[in-house]
Structure 1
């Protein structure tokens, strides 16, 4: 109905003008009717009586003016749109707002018919036309209310999302060292300011449908959490009353099927920027192509290697230069054999069990590796650096194509 031309006759103009002269007492009646017949206002209790009175007054005036004049609803919609905006800001349900406008429409119709009887202007055909006109106007004005309400609601959601995103960025950049910022962030995200925390970082942009299961899984372990979908990762903050990082890691792993990292424990929101960097580093220790949730505490050697790529490259180049120059399948099974050899402490028997081959096959491969790298791997205890080298193997770039 918005924008429709509503023609009014002499009866409509005369009666509407007469009722307008009694606008203040009519407003009082409408406020009382809303209080009695629209319990949503009482239950939600966000609209002060003075606000309701002025809203009823202004909207009754505009409805009666529109009934008595020719024009579109937009020309008389200022009060309706203001009401829609205010009620959205007050978070009063739209159904309750529109119910009040229907109550107002009934009251206007009753006032018009009472005035017609008092003035002796009752004409059945004219009154039928007037009834149609009244409800056309009420529908048109209600549409303006709903339009303004929804527009404001969308704007508030966008503003809330922007505010939350700004608070997240501030937390991850270390701004929670400021007590005021930490309080605001904690209140908005519904997290405690102090106490132990871990951060979680999961690869990929993530999906919104995983957020509720993540929160529920962590609540079962007594942990509150907040999550943010970023462009390249899903980030979470998890309060940790029991400091049980293992339980958090398992809970996150029960929901996410992607690479994810969990930080070390930090103290309070002021330190979550450190936890975030740690979580991202832990996530990077998951080998490419694997879906696994790991804690940084379990991956410190790998994290150290990833934190110093130039030193890692020098370590690998120094110890594995000849082996890494190989291509194809040979490089793959020799590196696999080397990893099993180092993990077993140089035991051909245990390496063979892991690789499902004969121990002589293992020894032959190890001798081949020794020839390529020009270093001894047999006949004594393996140096410490071999443990680091093996941990770096999953992050090697693919072999060069000949």
Structure 2
């Protein structure tokens, strides 16, 4: 690497003499190099103290000059030094463009100094330098390339570690941990306000028709989503913008998810994300097995109460639908489908009949039979509540009533 060629004979002798003389001027060259860098960008002077920057620049230029006249089969100390420098500069936060510029600037400075040493002397010294130009600049290019590659590799590793730390902070918030300063550290790392309106979305990990279950990427005016993948779901933290509410979240998710999901109520800060996640998971549990929509907990409160108490839900189904459950599956499904349609149509038998493709009198007859089997009246509010909740519990348990 570097395109070095065999260096023998008179050219080699003249080049070695020029490089030896140049090393005696090294402090002067380093001073000029650092002056040029800070003139080009003040960032150079902000990364390191001047004394440390001077020592590192002196070492880099010394190694580079010595490499020009090093034997062909000797180790490339300049490339090793460039790799180490690239890693250090990435860790220190110096922009890559400034790292490459520093190598180019040092190369020009050394080359100009070599040419200056040949001016006014025997013409063959200048000719020997010109014949070495390709080799010298190939070495500078190789150093800049190695430094850049090391810089980018280190930058990727630093970004990975940073991402892992931020993900750990976000996971801790979603788990409801209450460590001191946790929300503040997460806010700073994720560039989010510590206080402000947030919601959490939980999407079930399913695929239908070969489509991804999760809407990625997902952006909306005034909304920012941060997603975390889990084994059985994906969790989205939603930072709500001014004037944005859950309607905006639901609208953005609608039609973009092939699997069901739940949306939590709005909470007032990052420290409350654990509670929001639990509420979003509860909202998801109100979705029947074959559901594909994303639902809001604040619009599923009765059903959420049912699913949060599975033992009582099972008892409710048995008490309300006990006799009904003894019917043939097809007969039972027709009655429960009719009840579900009637409830969805807000108690309108005519609209339910249109949905079920039957006569409205058929709807009335099925509902009367349902009342007889359950010993309850759909005209009594308490009985209606029991039957509605029992239907939700039955459906969520996989009973198969149509939605």
Taking structure 1 as the reference length, the TM-score comes to: 0.82
Is it true that 1:210 corresponds to 2:217 in the alignment?
yes
What do the CA deviations read for 1:1-41 (whole angstroms, capped 9, x no partner)?
Answer: 27x766443333222222112111111122223344xx4x3
* SS of residue paired to 2:47: coil
After TM superposition, list the pairs within 5 Å mapping 1:2-401 onto structure 2.
Answer: 7-8=6-7, 9-36=12-39, 39=40, 41-42=41-42, 46-48=46-48, 50=50, 52-70=53-71, 71=73, 74-117=76-119, 120=122, 122-123=124-125, 126-175=128-177, 177-204=178-205, 209-211=216-218, 213=219, 216-219=220-223, 225-231=224-230, 232-239=233-240, 244-253=245-254, 258-321=259-322, 323-324=324-325, 329-342=330-343, 348-349=349-350, 351-366=352-367, 369=370, 374-377=373-376, 380-381=379-380, 383=383, 384-397=385-398
- Deviation at 1:319? 2.7
Contact 1:5/1:72, CA 8 A, preserved across alignment: no
Contact 1:228/1:235, CA 8 A, preserved across alignment: yes
Q: Any unmatched runs of 5+ in structure 2?
A: 206-211
Contact 1:20/1:61, CA 8 A, preserved across alignment: yes
Contact 2:183/2:194, CA 8 A, preserved across alignment: yes
Change (3 A) 1:242 1:179: farther
Contact 2:260/2:291, CA 8 A, preserved across alignment: yes
- In structure 2, distance between residues paired with 1:45 and 1:330: 83
Alignment partner, residue 222 of structure 1: none
- In structure 1, distance between residues paired with 2:34 and 2:297: 62
Choose 73-82 or 9-18, whichever is displaced more.
73-82
Change (3 A) 1:83 1:128: same
Contact 1:348/1:359, CA 8 A, preserved across alignment: yes
Contact 2:68/2:136, CA 8 A, preserved across alignment: yes
- In structure 2, distance between residues paired with 1:53 and 1:287: 69
Q: Any unmatched runs of 5+ in structure 1?
A: 220-224
Aligned length: 384
What do the CA deviations read for 1:324-363 (whole angstroms, capped 9, x no partner)?
Answer: 4667654433321122345678775564354342133224
Change (3 A) 1:124 1:114: closer
* SS of residue paired to 2:194: coil
Choose 302-311 or 157-166, whichever is displaced more.
302-311
Change (3 A) 1:380 1:60: closer
- Deviation at 1:88? 1.8
RMSD: 3.3
* SS of residue paired to 1:217: coil
- Deviation at 1:64? 0.6
- In structure 2, distance between residues paired with 1:151 and 1:327: 67
- Deviation at 1:298? 0.7
Change (3 A) 1:355 1:307: same
What do the CA deviations read for 1:234-264 (whole angstroms, capped 9, x no partner)?
Answer: 3214256658433443344486565332212
Change (3 A) 1:22 1:362: same
